[in-house]
Amino acid sequence: MKKMTAGGFVVIFWVVMLTTICSADSNNEDKKSKNAAVVENVLVTFVELGSVRCIPCRMMQPIMKDIEKDYAGQVKVVFHDVWTPEGGPYAEKYKIRLIPTQVFLDKDGKEYFRHEGFFPKEELVKILKQKGVK
């Protein structure tokens, strides 16, 4: 068996690195196309407008996580903290009067339902099912 020279080691190192990089790029492309497919299948966008400092809004956080998990690929969940500079413009955009406010958009981005205040999960799911969410 021959001993490997330093130059041989460097060549093998770069071959392994390039193979890894190319494989990672391929995986990223697969993920992008899968994510694009998921976005195309979204039936409802559930927009939660509130604040992390608001008690009823905080009570909505676990419900939002459940909806995101239980209806992945069918429902897109978006949260805007309207008491921050980044989220403030959404309060105006959606013309909210109090927080939390839930706005439901159909697959075309048109609002089809709105609720103000804490929204129990069971009631929220009924609204999602109006647009074919299963």
Residue 47 has pLDDT above 60, yes or no: yes
pLDDT given for residue 3 in this prediction = 59
Q: What residues have CB less than 8 Å from 131, skipping those under 6 apart? A: 43, 44, 104, 106, 107, 112
Verdict on whether the full-model pTM lies above 0.95: no
pLDDT of 4 strictly over 90:
no
pLDDT at 30: 46
More confident residue, 58 or 33: 58
- 27 and 89: one domain? no
H/E/C letters for each residue in the chain? CCCCCHHHHHHHHHHHHHHHHHHHHHHHHHHHHHHHHHHHCCCEEEEEEECCCCHHHHHHHHHHHHHHHHCCCCEEEEEEECCCCCCHHHHHHCCCCCCCEEEEECCCCCEEEEEECCCCHHHHHHHHHCCCCC
State yes or no: pLDDT of 75 exceeds 50: yes
Counted domains in the chain: 2
Asked if 88 and 36 sit in the same domain, the reply is: no
Do 118 and 91 share a domain, yes or no? yes
Mean pLDDT of the chain: 81
Give the range of the structural domain holding residue 28, as residue numbers without chain letter: 1-40
The answer on pLDDT for 40 being more than 90 is: no
Q: What is the pLDDT of residue 41?
A: 86
Q: Does residue 134 lie within any of the structural domains?
A: no
